[in-house]
C-alpha cells in the first residue's frame, strides 16, 4: 500500500512511502528484541549520555525539523520551532534526572534488606498522531528508552517523514542499532504491530483508536498507556483579570491552529462578566493572522486535511441549528489549503456538538454559568477529563476550584501545557496512565520487590 503525504497549506503532494508489510513488522520487532538484551545491560549513565547528544542534535537541526513539521501537517513555523526545542529540553531533563528516578527504593521490613527495583519491560510499541509529530514521539520514547526499553514506532500516515527524521536523529546521536525503529503505514500496520511480540504499547489518539488498542493489548496481556484527547474547559470567574484571561483563552485555543488535545475547547464564563469577556474575545480573535504557516507572522495555519475541516464545519453548523450564534468567522477561507476562519460562538449549551464533542480547530464556544458552582458543574459535564484551567484573582479560590475539576492537568491563571517535570495524562475517557516526570518514566518498567532474608 502506498502512503501519500500532502502539504495542507498548498494541497500539493510532498511524498510517497511504501507501507510496511506484516513480515517487515515482525522482523522489526525481532530486531528490537535482540537489541534489548544489550541496551538494558548498558548502565544508566551511558543511556543519559546519549540523551545529551540527542538534545544537541535536535537543537542543531531545529530549522530543518521544524520546516518538515510545518510542511507535513501545517503547524505555524514558530510553533514547530518551539516543538523541536521542547524535545531538546526533554532530553536534558531526563539526562539530568533519570538516574535518580530509577534508583532502587529501600523499604524497611523484617528482612535483612528489602528494596524496590525498576527494570525495563522489553520491546514497547508506540502509535503516535500527527498533531505534534516530534513531541508526541519524544515525550514517550525518551523516558521509555532511558529506562532500558527498546522502541518500535508506528507514526501517523500524515507524517512519515518526521518519523524517519527522528530515527536519523537517534542514529546520529549514537543510539545502538535497532534500539529505536519505525514502521510506516496506517491503521492496519499499527494493529499488526500491537499484535506482534511486543511487551507493551503506548498510544496517543482518538477515543475510538484507544478502545481498539486497549482490546488488542488486553487480548495479548500487554501493558498499555493511552492518551486520548480532551474537551478542556476554561473557566472565567467574576473576579478574574478579564484582559489577561482573554489573552490566555486565545493562546489556549489557537495553539496548533486549535488541533491539540489540551487546547481550551469550552469557554465557561460566569454571567456577571460574560459580555465583557465575549466582546474582548471577539476583538482578540479577529486580530489573529491566518495564512502561510511558513511565515513567522502567522498565528493560525491550515487544518491537517479536508476531512478535518469538513468535520469542524459540521460541528459548528449543527450547533448553530441547535441555537448557537456565530459571533466571528464560522466558515472556510477561499483558495488553496484546508484553512478555517478563527471562530467565536455564543449561546452555546452543553448538548451542542461544539461543546459535547472534541473540536479540532480554531473555534471558541462560549457557555455562560450562573456562578462558580454552576461553572464547575458545566466543566465536569463531559466524558473526557484531560486538561482544565480556571481564571481568578483569588489564588486560594482558584486552587479550590482546581481540586474539584475532573481532569488530569489543571492550571490556575494560565494555559494548560505539558511540562517534562510534571505528569501528563487524563481521567475518565481521556486515557490510562501517565507520561513525563518520574511517573512517566516508571510506566514501562517492572516494579520488582526484592527481599534478602
Q: Which residues are tagged catalytic?
A: 227, 261
- To which residue does cell 530549522 refer? 63
CA-closest candidate to residue 406, choices 424, 422, 370, 430: 430
CA-closest candidate to residue 365, choices 35, 224, 357: 357
**How far apart, in whole angstroms, are the C-alpha atoms of residue 195 and residue 178?**
19
- Helix, strand, coil shares of the chain, percent, nearest 5, are 45, 20, 35
Give the full edge-to-edge strand order of the sheet including 233-236: 325-328, 343-346, 363-369, 266-270, 233-236, 387-391, 409-412
| Alpha helices for 229-333 (secondary structure H) | 242-254, 274-286, 306-321
Q: Do residues 13 and 136 touch, judged by C-beta distance below 8 A? A: no
**How far apart, in whole angstroms, are the C-alpha atoms of residue 439 and residue 433?**
9
Q: Nearest-5° angle of CA 323, CA 324, CA 327? A: 140
Q: Do residues 80 and 302 touch, judged by C-beta distance below 8 A? A: no
For residue 195, what is its C-alpha cell? 499484535
Q: Do residues 44 and 337 touch, judged by C-beta distance below 8 A? A: no
Sign of the torsion formed by the C-alpha atoms of 165, 169, 172 and 175: negative
- Rounded to 5 degrees, φ, ψ at 141 are -70, -40
Please tell me whether residue 424 adopts helix, strand or coil conformation.
Answer: strand
Q: What is the dihedral of CA 297, 302, 304, 309, to 10 degrees?
A: 150
Q: Do residues 25 and 197 touch, judged by C-beta distance below 8 A? A: no
- Which residues on adjacent β-strands are paired with residue 449? 116
Amino acid at each position: 500500500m502506498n502512503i501519500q503525504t500532502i502539504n495542507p497549506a498548498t494541497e500539493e503532494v510532498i511524498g510517497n512511502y511504501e507501507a510496511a508489510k506484516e513480515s517487515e513488522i515482525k522482523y522489526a520487532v525481532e530486531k528490537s528484541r535482540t537489541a534489548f538484551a544489550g541496551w538494558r545491560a548498558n548502565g544508566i549513565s551511558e543511556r543519559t549520555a546519549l540523551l545529551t547528544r540527542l538534545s544537541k542534535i535536535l537543537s542543531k537541526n531545529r530549522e530543518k525539523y521544524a520546516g518538515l513539521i510545518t510542511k507535513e501537517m501545517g503547524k505555524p513555523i514558530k510553533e514547530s520551532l518551539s516543538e523541536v526545542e521542547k524535545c531538546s529540553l526533554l532530553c536534558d531533563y531526563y539526562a539530568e534526572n533519570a538516574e535518580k528516578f530509577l534508583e532502587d527504593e529501600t523499604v524497611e521490613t523484617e528482612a535483612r534488606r528489602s528494596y524496590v527495583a525498576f527494570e525495563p519491560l522489553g520491546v514497547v510499541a508506540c502509535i503516535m498522531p500527527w498533531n505534534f509529530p516530534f513531541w508526541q514521539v519524544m515525550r514517550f520514547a525518551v523516558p521509555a528508552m532511558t529506562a532500558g526499553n527498546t522502541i518500535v514506532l508506528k507514526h501517523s500516515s500524515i507524517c512519515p517523514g518526521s518519523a524517519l527524521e527522528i530515527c536519523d536523529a537517534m542514529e546520529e546521536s549514537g543510539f545502538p542499532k535497532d534500539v529505536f525503529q519505525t514502521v510506516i503505514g496506517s491503521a492496519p500496520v499499527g494493529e499488526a504491530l500491537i499484535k506482534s511480540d511486543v511487551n507493551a504499547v503506548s498510544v496517543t489518539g482518538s477515543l475510538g483508536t484507544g478502545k481498539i488498542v486497549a482490546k488488542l493489548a488486553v487480548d495479548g496481556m500487554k501493558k498499555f498507556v493511552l492518551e486520548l484527547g480532551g474537551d478542556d474547559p476554561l473557566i472565567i470567574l467574576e473576579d478574574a483579570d478579564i484582559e489577561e484571561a482573554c489573552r490566555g483563552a486565545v493562546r489556549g485555543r489557537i495553539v496548533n491552529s486549535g488541533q491539540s488535545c489540551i487546547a481550551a475547547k469550552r469557554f465557561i464564563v460566569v454571567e456577571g462578566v460574560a459580555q465583557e469577556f465575549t466582546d474582548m474575545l471577539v476583538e482578540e480573535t479577529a486580530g489573529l493572522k491566518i495564512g502561510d504557516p511558513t511565515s513567522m507572522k502567522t498565528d493560525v495555519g491550515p487544518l491537517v486535511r479536508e476531512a478535518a475541516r469538513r468535520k469542524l464545519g459540521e460541528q459548528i453548523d449543527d450547533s448553530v441549528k441547535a441555537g448557537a450564534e456565530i459571533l466571528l468567522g464560522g466558515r472556510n477561507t477561499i483558495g488553496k489549503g484546508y484553512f478555517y476562519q478563527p471562530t467565536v460562538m455564543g449561546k452555546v449549551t452543553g448538548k451542542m456538538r461544539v461543546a459535547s464533542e472534541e473540536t479540532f480547530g480554531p473555534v471558541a464556544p462560549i457557555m455562560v454559568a450562573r456562578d462558580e458552582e454552576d461553572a464547575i458543574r458545566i466543566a465536569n459535564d463531559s466524558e473526557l477529563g484531560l486538561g482544565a484551567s480556571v481564571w481568578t484573582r483569588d489564588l486560594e479560590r482558584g486552587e479550590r476550584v482546581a481540586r474539584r475539576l475532573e481532569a488530569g492537568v489543571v492550571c490556575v491563571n494560565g494555559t494548560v501545557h505539558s511540562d517534562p517535570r510534571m505528569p501528563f495524562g487524563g481521567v475518565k475517557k481521556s486515557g490510562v496512565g501517565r507520561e513525563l516526570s518520574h511517573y512517566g518514566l516508571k510506566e514501562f518498567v517492572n516494579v520488582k520487590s526484592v527481599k534478602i532474608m
